[in-house]
Structure 1
């Protein structure tokens, strides 16, 4: 299995794990640093946004690597597929909260998940252009 898919799967598992914790305050997560817990209390919805930047980035990495043998891959098609996958993923994460008593789905998380996965994809494409410009 390639490194790209392993990183992508790891980030997806982390997103689902934190989305489906029974206590959204993360107080019981003793392995998280105190500065991160303090930041989380201040910017509650941004934890979804930050994790989906990495999802968008690693989806682009994986798609570019998978299609590297194609001479002219459809970049717009790949971007649309990746954004669709990220949107479905954030919807599944939010729908899973319906089964957890202390959690409620948040439409703002879906919006942040979509927009930040787009931002992550754009970061990767910018990084790739800058790297190839040398």
Structure 2
């Protein structure tokens, strides 16, 4: 059951990444459901805002993969991190490629970098929290 919940959350995060990446207006001014402070922060931190959903993506990818390697630490964790980075890179590259077809949007290599970094940080946070939990 937990795997299904994690998979559902992963899909929601991926859909959110594509939705916000492919909006016609990159300033999010027409997105009235977002708080004004969040829109202002996102517009002032244009590339950093790309990393935010990828924090969750990296965290969820690690959580989803974890039961497969529950007691295996060293090499399998690095392999898992590499898989996490590869999946995040594919998702962010698809999102950036989709912007090629949207008139007011521009592709940005920095967004690819921030997406991968965000996913890596999310994965690291998950592994850190898991390590703390297992040491108790």
| In 1: Cα distance, 2:72 partner to 2:42 partner | 42
Q: After TM superposition, where is structure 1 displaced by more than 4 Å over at least 4 residues in a row?
A: none
Q: Which consecutive unaligned segments of at least 5 residues does structure 1 have? A: none
Residue in 1 aligned with 2:105?
A: 103
Q: Which consecutive unaligned segments of at least 5 residues does structure 2 have? A: none
Q: Does 1:64 align with 2:66?
A: yes
Q: Does 1:116 align with 2:118?
A: yes
| In 2: Cα distance, 1:76 partner to 1:37 partner | 35
| In 1: Cα distance, 2:43 partner to 2:71 partner | 47
TM-score by length of 1: 0.92
Equivalences for residues 36-55 of structure 1 within 5 A: 36-55=38-57
More helix by share: 2
Q: What is the aligned residue count?
A: 132
TM-score by length of 2: 0.91
SS in 1 for 2:26: coil
